[in-house]
Amino acid sequence: MKKLILVVLLFSFELFAFSTSNVQLMYGTFNGNSYVFDTKNGGKTTITLEHFSAFEYGDVYAFLDYCIADDRFKYHDDKTNEYGELSPRLDLGALTSSDLSFLFVKKVFAAFQYNTDFHDYKAYLYGIGTALDVYGFDYFNANLYQKDQVHGDNVYQVTLSYQTKSFFELFYINGFTDYTEKNLLSQNQFLHPFGDNLSGGVEWHYYTQDTDITSNVFQVMLKYKW
């Protein structure tokens, strides 16, 4: 039921002033030593549904990953897993009828996030967010959260999400980086556009935890947006 609710939310946001959705298909060989990401004896296919909507008083980002291992995941005897995030932000300037922009900061938000693997892991994040004006980027967001989670320490988290402008109409970079006191996760997609809706390329997935757990993979991928 939770999975269905998140999928419905992903696409109900189409009613907002601006919205964009995409589906991604990725494949890579995850042979590191992380509990969450890595697999035994081969690679992993990931199907991702992703959505972003903006409205007068803020924006909403959400995604849902469904992963299929060629064999099994390395440290738990499953062939599939799921993970999703829902990240709403409220524009404090719009809510207070104030201009909160300064320097390269365009907007300031109250930022929230809910993370789940649809089983026993949940995390609740809250903090402050910004939309930044950075040269060469279509968008660049920076959020600072307090992260309260089941299974694991409560920590702060810095999240950057961004997309570059096209380099010579050959490729662009879309990605995010999450940093906490315990770990770093960065996923950056290097994509060539095949028309208005379809793009393809590679994603560089990098994860490190407490300096001795690492997952470092390049995945081939296709992305279709609407």
The span from the CA of 73 to the CA of 38, in Å, is 6
> Which whole-number Å values give the CA distances from 120 to 9, 149, 152, in the listed order?
21, 11, 12
Local confidence band at 212 (pLDDT 50, 70, 90 cut-offs):
confident
**CA atoms within 13 A of residue 17's CA, in its CB half-sphere:** 6
Q: What percent of the chain has pLDDT over 70?
A: 92
Residue in this structure with the two tokens 């609740």, named with its chain if needed? 124
Confidence of residue 208 (pLDDT cuts 50, 70, 90): very high
Q: pLDDT tens for residues 149-163? A: 998 889 999 999 999
Residue 184's CB is within 10 A of a number of other CB atoms, namely 14
Instruction: Give the tens place of pLDDT for each residue, 49-77.
Output: 999 999 999 999 999 999 999 999 988 88
The mean pLDDT value of the chain amounts to: 92
9 pLDDT higher than 90:
no
Taking CB atoms within 8 Å and a gap of at least 24, the contacts of 17-21 are 17/53, 17/54, 17/55, 17/56, 18/53, 18/54, 18/55, 19/51, 19/52, 19/53, 19/54, 20/51, 20/52, 20/53, 20/225, 20/226, 21/49, 21/50, 21/51, 21/52, 21/225, 21/226
The two tokens of residue 132 are 């930044």
Complete domains list, the chain, with CATH: 2-225 (2.40.230.20)
What is the distance between the alpha carbons of residues 6 and 11, in angstroms, rounded to a whole number? 9
Task: State both tokens at 224.
Answer: 């279709």
